[in-house]
Amino acid sequence: MEKIVILTGAGISAESGLGTFRDEEGLWAQHAIDDVATPDGFERNPLLVHGFYNARRAQAAKAKPNAAHKALARLEQEHRGEVLIITQNVDSLHEAGGSRNVIHMHGRLNGALCHACEHRWEAPLEMTPTDQCPACYETTTRPDVVWFGEIPYGMHAIDPALAAADLFAAIGTSGNVFPAAAYGQHARRLGAHTVELNLEPSAASRDFKELRHGPASEIVPEWVEELLRDQT
């Protein structure tokens, strides 16, 4: 299992106290996607959208990586081949847990973006609609997160990584949002062994050869332990 590609979603950060999206009390039960996670929503009401991401940024700033994030960092360090994490999460818990090779396909809460000149910088804890871009001084700044209707980041790197993967794992994602929801099927067709690690079967479970269900903080360290044991 030389090349390992791991897709992560909100479920891996749930035990760090960050809310998921589609659970009964998830973020999308409390906020309308159209209002807070689309370019149109931001145009209609930037104050509301900044408020939503400011609150998430403040919550994420207090969160600590859990045993699942740390186990993936250990895998990157101790596995003899490559380990790539593709995360849909906008928190920085993979990096805080020690992972280095991470693609944030839906952007980062800690990033700010000017949609006039595309300059990027570290976001302040609180963003407002009157913030100026430090490069062009326009007040066209937004959180550097990918909204519905926008193209995810890193696609040029993700496609070849899926094609080259010997092992593909999806952790803590409900399999509802594309393109990530198709990565299991894609990697399997291209020859990878596929494993889903999630609290419960996801909408994409049938695309995976191996299924492991339970809380990420338990099942991910167990899985990593097995992978590292098998390589010796």
Distances from the Cα of 136 to the Cα of 11, 109, 115, 117, 120, angstroms: 38, 21, 11, 7, 11
Longest Cα pair distance anywhere in the chain, in angstroms? 56
Indicate the residue among 82 and 120 with the shorter CB distance to ligand OAD: 120
When CB distances to ligand OAD are compared, the closest residue is 11
Indicate the residue among 9 and 41 with the shorter CB distance to ligand OAD: 9
Minimum distance from CB of 7 to ligand OAD (Å)? 9
CA 10 to chain centre: 7
Indicate the residue among 123 and 216 with the shorter CB distance to ligand OAD: 216
Which residues form the interface with ligand OAD (CB under 6 A)? Answer: 9-11, 14-15, 20-23, 26, 37, 88, 106, 146-148, 172-174, 176-177, 198-200, 202, 215-216
Active site residue 69: no
- Active site residue: 69, 79, 104, 106, which one? 106
| Contact criterion met (CB below 8 Å) for 92 and 106 | no
Minimum distance from CB of 176 to ligand OAD (Å)? 5
Minimum distance from CB of 2 to ligand OAD (Å)? 26
- CA angle (198, 53, 8) in 5-degree steps: 20
* Token pair for 4: 């390992």
Indicate the residue among 22 and 120 with the shorter CB distance to ligand OAD: 22
Minimum distance from CB of 106 to ligand OAD (Å)? 5
Of 136, 78, 143, 138, the closest CA to residue 104 belongs to 143
* Token pair for 69: 């994030």
Question: Catalytic residue numbers?
Answer: 106
